[in-house]
């Protein structure tokens, strides 16, 4: 069965490019991103890992630790990192799991047999400090992910975890948010003193509360 939102993210110990790690220990109290790649030395994966490395400061700012995965062996990973750094003008310093026996890929349902029986699809999991799955995104092998969207989603997840709000379509950090229906309209001023707008009784907005 595939992992669903709210499920506990399975823990594991694995060989990586920075040594053997225990997933839970690696995350500690941070948020985490675990994402898979079909294979080393492939063009789309090279750009994805490069983009992730270039956004390292943005992930750090949000207290997010990144962990990549491929079913290729460790020596190929280390050689591939050289290519990534050269072609993408970056420095990959986050770990890449060498999941040769597909243990982690199977734990997280990253292999979709109808797409490929041997390679992982482009699965991405956002995991909260409570070790629960907060988001899953799955792309086909042919389509690279949008990591600015991943950052946007993390901003939303971290905001909505702490305030009684939701984020509207295309929301970006700093824009107005939606007051959740569970908050009564008469209680909004006390909870959200920056003000609010009532567009419909079920659609109330307020300035982002943590800005």
Instruction: Give catalytic residues, as residue numbers.
Output: 45
Residue 53 phi/psi, 5-degree rounding, is -65, -40
Tokens of 101: 């026996």
- Please, how many CA atoms are within 13 Å of residue 42, restricted to the half-sphere of its CB? 19
**Token match 């994966």: residue?**
45
Task: Note the maximum CA span of the chain.
Answer: 61
The DSSP letter of residue 185 is: G
The CA-based dihedral angle spanning residues 37, 118, 104, 46, taken in that order and rounded to the nearest 10 degrees:
-10
Query: CA 190, CA 74: separation in Å to the nearest integer?
Result: 55
Helices (H), 1-73: 23-27, 43-54, 56-61
Phi-psi region of 58 (alpha: psi -120 to 50; beta: other; left: phi over 0): alpha
Q: Is 10 exposed, middle or buried (0-12, 13-18, 19+ CB in 10 A)?
A: middle
């Amino acid at each position: 069965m595939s992992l669903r939102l709210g499920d506990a993210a399975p823990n594991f110990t694995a060989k990586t490019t920075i040594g053997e790690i225990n997933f839970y220990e690696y995350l500690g109290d941070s948020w985490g991103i675990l994402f898979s790649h079909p294979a080393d030395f492939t063009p789309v994966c090279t750009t994805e890992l490069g983009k992730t490395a270039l956004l390292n400061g943005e992930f750090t700012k949000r207290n997010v630790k990144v962990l990549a995965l491929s079913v290729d062996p460790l020596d190929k990973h280390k050689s591939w990192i050289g290519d990534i750094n050269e072609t993408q003008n970056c420095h990959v310093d986050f770990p890449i799991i060498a999941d040769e026996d597909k243990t982690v890929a199977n734990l997280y349902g990253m292999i979709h047999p109808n797409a490929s029986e041997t390679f992982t699809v482009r699965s991405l999991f956002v995991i909260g400090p409570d070790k629960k799955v907060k988001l899953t995104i799955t792309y086909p092998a042919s389509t690279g992910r949008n990591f600015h969207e991943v950052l946007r989603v993390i901003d939303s997840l971290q905001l909505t975890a702490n305030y009684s709000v939701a984020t509207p379509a295309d929301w970006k950090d700093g824009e107005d948010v939606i007051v959740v229906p569970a908050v009564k309209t008469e209680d909004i001023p006390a909870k959200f003193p920056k003000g609010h707008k009532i567009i419909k009784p079920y659609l109330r907005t307020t300035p982002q509360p943590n800005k």
